[in-house]
Structure 1
């Protein structure tokens, strides 16, 4: 069975929360708690109105490709996620639905839709089963509607018949109740946070990290806290998982369903050709090391962010003449900062206005946390933009 009703409901909860969180100005986990308290979209704590439900139905239809079933109108006549999951699971299990559509990109760029065949994802899950061994629970600190969370969460839960814990409950378990045999899914920023905690991890916890490079010192800190193994996964929405490793600093080993075609491309067992998201160094025909991204995106909290798109967005504000946006290192991972030249006179009022505007317009990952106002953008002796 590709997806049980309980895991389908969990995925739907993440889709609904992600669709509504930005517009409502609330945290995704806050909405997840409301959706977990009651699966009734209208009368439950989440209290969707008709426009909310229309937006959510479109997103769910897109994700599962429900156009094949003509079910979008049906969704709008049902107000419980349990009813939605019944329809989706029936169509997944009889083969009517055979693709999942993931989004990549953020608020500042047009989201790119990427279709992944369910058979391809399940092939990856079959190999993951061998990698993780005798896991007992899956604790997901990642969104289940993103490709990493969907593969290692709901799909792996089905493959191994394991309990899947997600949302606020997963945060609680990760802090206070990890157990031997837990498979803990997180992004590098979460591992940096957990590695700095005072308490040690219980024995037998297996960690997984993906969405971006996890610094070797972060992996070593987690292992020093008692983590049994850290599985680093290299992949992208366009490809799914590409490769994995359990020894930081060594090459990533291709998943079995991928083969090297040339220096920049892979080919799957089904004949699908995939472009590697990074320039890589090939150590062998099946082992690689990512070097740098092709599209100049950076990872912030497990999300792809394009600083140049954020710069262009900030420059669209009528009070801004020009802007430079760069990544900055913090104790909690990479964030963005911005240097801004005002159209007229810069003052604290403009900075406060920009902060409010950015908070209302951009996701947390895309939003610069440090704003500097000045008369001219910083440049070096050669006249090129530089850091500040």
Structure 2
């Protein structure tokens, strides 16, 4: 039996990543404004005035009572502390290190499984429970995968992805534990990359936005570097450009928070190969677990090439209800993007605080700068061409479609202004 277990350093890294992400939402901050790159086991979670006296070298997050409750909920859900009945103790402890110790105790009492939250890029974020044994089995597979097809043994992990998402958790938490390798996390990871301090045997964990930035910057790679990409499709031209810049190998991992890893490939011209956990389901968009048999419905349509190889063919239409009637936002998006005045568009249901109708984000063509005229035109076009439930009731305009730091298309507020791509430093903590 594989006895892979989380150590305190790994648990601390996950907690810091979780809380930094939550703090950004609660306080409307950017990543670098959280100051999480300075957090450690001695960091105080609450307000200094409500805890012990702050020593000169200590740092306090300064969470108020509501933020503290939100933090505790995130940690309790992620590590399934509810299964051990210890969740209330989170509010009794003052430092991140004490929370780490509590997670260790909870895991010893049976809270083994891990719950990941979806990014919300395809609707309302949901909690996805993953069995610990399944995560360990996938990690063991990739440990062999990266050891069997490389002339240079892996020496260290360069983690450019947050470790509280399932992709980052498997490859920057579990994999280095399995291989007993050091991990360099952001912001040091990106600094090493930009300062040309990468070395043979480095395994880089990133996502399409980061790879696109490194491709644009012309970053050179020494021999013996392998990279992994996931979370969204990576443009094959970017992969080829990075290889021209010296990258030895780019491994693409296809999966989701609901399923963990599904397939892998090392050549963008080839199909994905199913991981050992999975087999083809009864339909083109379903998978079945080999051992237990239950089928999972995927958000993507797959083109199967035999029983063990496939190609994703884009997301399936997702239905939302407006006034009790089924509506397909993707179809409305396609219609808007056919207009000569529109370079790109996204349509989705308003948030609960915004309303119960559709909203649209529009990227105008470069020569169309009169926003008020364009908005009036779009409302008039929708009145003529869409049914009442299909018509977006709020238009937001920007330079690019909104996307999160993992490169996936994301939600936006109808009060948002101009949208721009996040800085490559945005992912760093």
Partners of 1:63 and 1:100 within 8 A in 2? yes
Moved more, 8-17 or 139-148: 139-148
Residue in structure 2 matched with residue 28 of structure 1 by the alignment: 31
Residue in structure 2 matched with residue 312 of structure 1 by the alignment: 350
Which residue of 112, 137, 146 corresponds with 1:132? 146
Structure 2 distance, partners of 1:328, 1:220, is 30
Moved more, 191-200 or 27-36: 27-36
Q: What TM-score do the two structures reach when normalised by structure 2?
A: 0.71
Structure 1 residue 369: Cα displacement: 6.5
Provide structure 1 residue ranges, at least 5 long, that are not aligned to the other structure.
299-305, 331-338, 345-353, 357-361, 372-388
Structure 1 residue 90: Cα displacement: 3.5
Larger radius of gyration: 2
Q: Deviations over 1:95-121 (max 9, x none)?
A: 601321111143894321111101111
The reply to whether residue 148 of structure 1 matches residue 167 of structure 2 is: yes
Q: What TM-score do the two structures reach when normalised by structure 1?
A: 0.78
The reply to whether residue 7 of structure 1 matches residue 10 of structure 2 is: yes
The reply to whether residue 111 of structure 1 matches residue 149 of structure 2 is: no
Structure 1 residue 244: Cα displacement: 0.3
The reply to whether residue 49 of structure 1 matches residue 68 of structure 2 is: no
Provide structure 2 residue ranges, at least 5 long, that are not aligned to the other structure.
49-58, 148-152, 319-328, 331-344, 367-373, 380-395, 420-429
**1:328/1:2 Cα in 2 relative to 1: closer, same or farther (>3 Å)?**
farther
**1:273/1:118 Cα in 2 relative to 1: closer, same or farther (>3 Å)?**
same
Structure 2 distance, partners of 1:110, 1:315, is 13
Aligned ranges 1:265-344 → 2 under 5 Å: 265-271=286-292, 272-295=294-317, 307-309=346-348, 312-313=350-351, 316=354, 323-325=359-361, 340-341=375-376
Aligned ranges 1:38-117 → 2 under 5 Å: 38-42=42-46, 43=48, 44-92=59-107, 94=108, 96-106=110-120, 109-117=123-131
The reply to whether residue 246 of structure 1 matches residue 266 of structure 2 is: yes
Q: The residue matched to 1:308 in structure 2 has which SS?
A: strand
Q: Deviations over 1:332-377 (max 9, x none)?
A: xxxxxxx745999xxxxxxxxx799xxxxx9774347758xxxxxx
Q: The residue matched to 1:291 in structure 2 has which SS?
A: strand
Partners of 1:99 and 1:115 within 8 A in 2? yes
Q: Deviations over 1:27-63 (max 9, x none)?
A: 2344221424953223424222222211100111111
Greater share of strand: 1
**1:210/1:322 Cα in 2 relative to 1: closer, same or farther (>3 Å)?**
closer
Residue in structure 2 matched with residue 261 of structure 1 by the alignment: 281
The reply to whether residue 218 of structure 1 matches residue 263 of structure 2 is: no
The reply to whether residue 159 of structure 1 matches residue 178 of structure 2 is: yes
Partners of 1:183 and 1:208 within 8 A in 2? yes
Q: The residue matched to 1:19 in structure 2 has which SS?
A: helix
Residue in structure 2 matched with residue 366 of structure 1 by the alignment: 411
Q: The residue matched to 2:305 in structure 1 has which SS?
A: strand
Partners of 2:81 and 2:111 within 8 A in 1? yes
**1:161/1:107 Cα in 2 relative to 1: closer, same or farther (>3 Å)?**
same
Structure 1 residue 276: Cα displacement: 2.8
